[in-house]
Amino acid sequence: MSYCVNCGVELSPSEKACPLCGVEVVNPRQPYDEKAVRPYPRRLDPINARINRAFTAVILSISIAFPAIFCLTVNFILDGRLTWSLYAAGGLALVWVFAVPSFLIRNPGFSKLLLPDILALLLYLLMIAWLRGPSDWYLPLAMPLVLLTGGLVYINGLLIGHRIIRGFVVP
């Protein structure tokens, strides 16, 4: 039984060189035997690693939906109505909108991913304003800030996509 002098791997009699580091095997007591059974095939089949996008989306959806349903259930059992759990469930729904569509859409363009995110953020802030009762901060403050920020991000994305903005850290 031979061992590689470089990395110490146990070598079979059918190997001329170490399969890990490629160092030639020199063992005068056990010469190379071409007819010995090889421990692995001569030809390696390539493995094409492919991410199953639908499965990833389902796993993410389940892992986001479970805590939301749990919070809603606990809140309803304890209080008899939904109060604080709507904030948590809405936040988890927002996380779902941010994360999962990129796995579900085949060719996710910038617009297909950003516009639903802006809409979901607006709806979440509207839900917070509705849950807090009569408040006048949504229309004059939250909505313009989200639309302005989303619009600037969208314009920058379009300019980068059309190669008008280059340099710094933009590829």
Look at residue 145 and tell me if it is in a domain: yes
**Above 80 in pLDDT, residue 169?**
no
For residues 12-20, average pLDDT: 80
**Above 90 in pLDDT, residue 34?**
no
Domain that holds residue 32: 1-49
Do 29 and 108 reside in the same domain of the chain? no
**CA–CA distances in Å: residue 93 to residues 58, 62, 96:** 14, 12, 5
Look at residue 169 and tell me if it is in a domain: no
Question: pTM of whole model > 0.75?
Answer: no
Do 93 and 146 reside in the same domain of the chain? yes
Look at residue 166 and tell me if it is in a domain: no
Look at residue 58 and tell me if it is in a domain: yes
Do 70 and 114 reside in the same domain of the chain? yes
For residues 132-153, average pLDDT: 94
Q: What is the pLDDT of residue 134?
A: 84
Do 29 and 17 reside in the same domain of the chain? yes
**Above 90 in pLDDT, residue 89?**
yes
Do 41 and 74 reside in the same domain of the chain? no
- Structural domain total, the chain: 2
For residues 112-134, average pLDDT: 95
Confidence of residue 59 (pLDDT cuts 50, 70, 90): very high
